Structure 1
Amino acid sequence: MRKVVQVVCVVLVAALVMFGGRWYMYVAMGSSPYDEVGIALNGHAPAPLRSWGCHTMQKRFPGQLPPYGCATPDGRSWM
């Protein structure tokens, strides 16, 4: 039983590092705010992380329309 718990923990940590790293690369260093994988990861992020990510991208891409998940209900303004 201990070995199973250890394997599950390793798999969860690996998934967190993989998906979290990909999300951070999208937010902090992506060449476009319209990357489909990044948008999906940002959409599933907890609200505080999504908010930070959207504000970071807004600073990096001024004047562009926000991607899905970072837009206000009108779809034209950053949240």
Structure 2
Amino acid sequence: MNKLLRIILIVVIAAIAVAGQRWYSYVTNTTDPFDEVGIDLQSYMPAPIRHWGCMQLKKNFGTKTLPPYGCQSPDNSASWIEG
């Protein structure tokens, strides 16, 4: 039983590490703010982390493109959230 629990724990930690690395690659990229996997991962993050991610994307793409889903201002979907 302990061996099964250890394997499950290792798989869960590995999945979290892979998803975290993929999300970090998305928010720090400089090529594509509309990566579907990155946007989905961004939407699952807690609010403070999601906000930091949006600020990173805004720093890289602020005036070049519209904000991706989740980084739009509540009153105007064509502008970035303030931060």
When the two structures are superposed, what TM-score results if normalisation uses the length of structure 2? Answer: 0.87
Aligned partner of 2:32 in structure 1 is 32
Task: Supply the distance in 1 between the matched residues of 2:3 and 2:30 (Cα, whole angstroms).
Answer: 38
Compute the displacement of 1:30 (Å). 4.5
Task: Supply the distance in 2 between the matched residues of 1:3 and 1:72 (Cα, whole angstroms).
Answer: 48
1:16 aligns with 2:22: no
Aligned partner of 2:70 in structure 1 is 69
**Is there any run of 5+ residues in structure 1 with no aligned partner, and where?**
none
Which of structure 1's runs of 4+ aligned residues deviate more than 4 A? none
What secondary structure is seen at the aligned counterpart in 2 of 1:78? coil
- 1:30-56: CA deviation from partner (whole Å, max 9, x where unpaired): 511111111111011111111100001
**Is there any run of 5+ residues in structure 2 with no aligned partner, and where?**
none
Question: Structure 1 residues 14, 30: closer, same or farther in 2, change over 3 A?
Answer: farther
What is the RMSD of the two structures over their aligned residues, measured on CA atoms?
A: 1.1
- 1:20-76: CA deviation from partner (whole Å, max 9, x where unpaired): 111010111251111111111101111111110000110011212110011122211
Aligned partner of 2:51 in structure 1 is 51
Task: Supply the distance in 1 between the matched residues of 2:18 and 2:30 (Cα, whole angstroms).
Answer: 16
Counting aligned pairs with the same residue, the percent is 46
Number of equivalent positions: 79
Equivalent position amino acid for 1:54 in 2: C
Task: Supply the distance in 2 between the matched residues of 1:70 and 1:61 (Cα, whole angstroms).
Answer: 12
